[in-house]
Amino acid sequence: MRIVHFLVLLFLTSGGFSGVTSAQNASPGVELVCESSSVRLDVEPGADRSGSVSCTVSNPSVHYEEISLLYQWGGGAFVVSGPGSESLGPGAESEFVVEIQGELMAWAGQAQLRITAYVDMVNGVPPPSSYDSQYNIMVTINQFGSMRVESGGDVDVYSGDECWASFIVLNEGNGYDFAYLNLEGMDDLVDAGWMVEAPWSKIQVDPFSPFIVNVYLTAPDNLDIMNDISEENFAIDRQEVTGNGTIKNTYSLEMTVMSEFNYRTLEQQGGSIPASSSLIVTEYPVEEEPSVVSDILPSLSVTLGVLAIVSAAAFNRRHDNEFLSQRRTTDR
């Protein structure tokens, strides 16, 4: 029976069928076209991360064909789903949809998806040779920017000390990006007597590689007791004064960061949630130095009393020695 099918197929492919129309081919074949040659995927948190493209596979021959569909891609962080086969009669076509799903926070970039349609069976038997059609689709993972900043810890120093406040900047986007840095409260610190040096205003931060930003500071030399902090000094968050005159001021320094990619490409103006570091400065009271001789030397009465005790002790000891000497003489 297979020999009969093969002879019929050979007869048809050789042009022996006189009823073939001009729009159909006697030999098996397949044609594949898609409505678009590119798909873009958004993969940031909250995005659906999906894309699709409509394609049409057709049978230009006079035969009944079983057509298989193959999807191939490499180096792309996405998965593809679509029909695996189509059964088409002579001159028929079928439209299908290819779904593409990106991985969450996949690295930004491009990869090629190749769709191949090939004839698997012709009139129920394998074709005498290979017949296929291919279509290439460029899949792009869109970049998104996301910057975050954390405090490196509080700073606890004495008045006049040099120190630094550390902030940790993290790129949580899916590509190389720059971060714009903004310090909140720096002007108030300067007005309160601090020296502030922030060497960075823009830094490159690689994904998964935190960048440590140090803000160099010099604490005020002198701290004053404030009656009303909100009106006299906006930089001070809290002031503590102990009974012996020790002053402890707590200041704050905040940093926000913004993705350059978002600012440049998406025109987003907002920055990150700010990170705050507390700056604690302590000033102890200065001990007063004695100014007169009476503050240094013991009082006169105390001095005379000590001398009297020493003199009496010496006299008694001398008297005892003389008494012992006389007694030894008498005994002899």
205 lies in some domain: yes
Identify whether residues 121 and 200 lie together within a single domain.
Answer: no
Say if CB 120 and CB 243 are below 8 A apart: no
Backbone angles phi, psi at 123, to 5 degrees: 50, 35
User: If pLDDT is split at 50, 70 and 90, which confidence band does 232 have?
Assistant: low
Q: The pTM is what?
A: 0.69
Average pLDDT over the chain, rounded to whole?
83
Give me the mean pLDDT over the 219-236 stretch: 77
Identify whether residues 249 and 179 lie together within a single domain.
Answer: yes
298 lies in some domain: no
Q: Per the structure block, which two tokens stand in for 147?
A: 């910057």
Give me the mean pLDDT over the 193-205 stretch: 91
Give the domain CATH number at 99.
2.60.40.10
Q: Per the structure block, which two tokens stand in for 287?
A: 């001990």
Number of domains in the chain: 2
The confidence score (pLDDT) of residue 224 equals 85
Confidence check: pLDDT of 287 > 90 = no
310 lies in some domain: no
Percentages of the chain per state (helix, strand, coil), in multiples of 5: 20, 45, 40
Bridging pattern class, strands 38-41 and 132-141: parallel
316 lies in some domain: no
36 lies in some domain: yes
64: how many CB neighbours lie within 10 A of its CB? 16
Identify whether residues 275 and 190 lie together within a single domain.
Answer: yes
Per residue in 149-175, pLDDT (tens digit) is 999 999 999 999 999 999 999 999 999
Per residue in 53-67, pLDDT (tens digit) is 999 999 999 999 999
The residue among 110, 141, 172 that closes a domain is 141
313 lies in some domain: no
Identify whether residues 28 and 152 lie together within a single domain.
Answer: no
Identify whether residues 155 and 234 lie together within a single domain.
Answer: yes
Identify whether residues 157 and 259 lie together within a single domain.
Answer: yes
93 lies in some domain: yes
Confidence check: pLDDT of 85 > 90 = yes
Higher pLDDT pick, 171 / 228: 171
314 lies in some domain: no
Confidence check: pLDDT of 200 > 80 = yes
Residue 136's domain comprises 2-11+20-141
